[in-house]
Amino acid sequence: MSVVIGLVIGLVLGLTGAGGSIFAVPLLMLLLGLPINDAIGIALGAVAVSAFIGTLSNWRAQYILWVPAIALGLGGALVAPIGKNLGAQLPPIVLLIGFCALAFIIAGIMWRQTVTAPGLANVVRSGQGDEKNDVIQPICRFSPEDQFDTSPKCIAALTGCGLFVGLLSGLFGVGGGFLIVPALLFITQVSMRQAVATSMLIICVIGGTGFASFVSSSSGTVDWLLLTKVCVGGLLGMLGGRLIADKIAGPQLQKVFALALIAIAAITLVNTLINGVI
């Protein structure tokens, strides 16, 4: 079952461009009976590994933009451990309700995107993507020499976004791709393909630091076998997504994932409240 959960992480991450880890936490709780803090820790590790796999191919293709990746990634990496430690101090029920609220918001963003900007649903992390850039008046621009903007205003905007994404990642075990891609498109003058490739590296960094914080606070109780199985599933999911992404990815699939996310989060919340165990 843990491999199946990993498959979901890899497939959703590959086919929709975001949301793999947001599925992992409720599935780990529902199917494996993990407490929410353990589920968040495992989800952080699994999404970091899955994002790393995706980053390797993007690195070879030279799609990654290093200035926004470093600025946003460092901001997130600094705050992710804080978010993880903060989450450990909260009552589990409060953390679960917050997670479910975030899941509903993400599902709403995914659904709205299919209506207002259906083209975004066709650009996936494991596919070839569209090089068209419709961003108007970005904060960061390229110079005439094709060098990325490194002005204080640009770096501050990217770092601030990273801080927010890192906090959510540490608190709830989400990779943040649902925020990173739109943020990069709004803040920077980059193509969609560059945005999704750069976000993959950022997710890897933020998820990795959040998982490291989870390991350091777990006193050796991390279930490494479970994490390995989930990561193997994530690898298979990413490879599968690479093969079928260009054929099935799109607005309708994203709507299905949005509805599934709402259903899984709602079932997890109701099941927990009924059983009184988290």
Q: What is the mean pLDDT of the chain?
A: 77
Instruction: Report residue 135's pLDDT band, with 50, 70 and 90 as the boundaries.
Output: very low
pTM: 0.75
pLDDT in tens, 200-218: 888 888 888 888 888 887 7
SS3 per residue for the chain: CHHHHHHHHHHHHHHHCCCHHHHHHHHHHHHHCCCHHHHHHHHHHHHHHHHHHHHHHHHHCCCCCHHHHHHHHHHHHHHHHHHHHHHHHCCHHHHHHHHHHHHHHHHHHHHHHHHHCHHHHHCCCCCCCCCCCCCCCCCCCECCCCCECCCHHHHHHHHHHHHHHHHHHHHHCCCCHHHHHHHHHHHCCCCHHHHHHHHHHHHHHHHHHHHHHHHHCCCCCCCHHHHHHHHHHHHHHHHHHHHHHHHHCCHHHHHHHHHHHHHHHHHHHHHHHHHCCC
pLDDT of the residue at 175? 65
Least confident piece of the model among 30-44, 72-86, 112-126, 219-233: 112-126
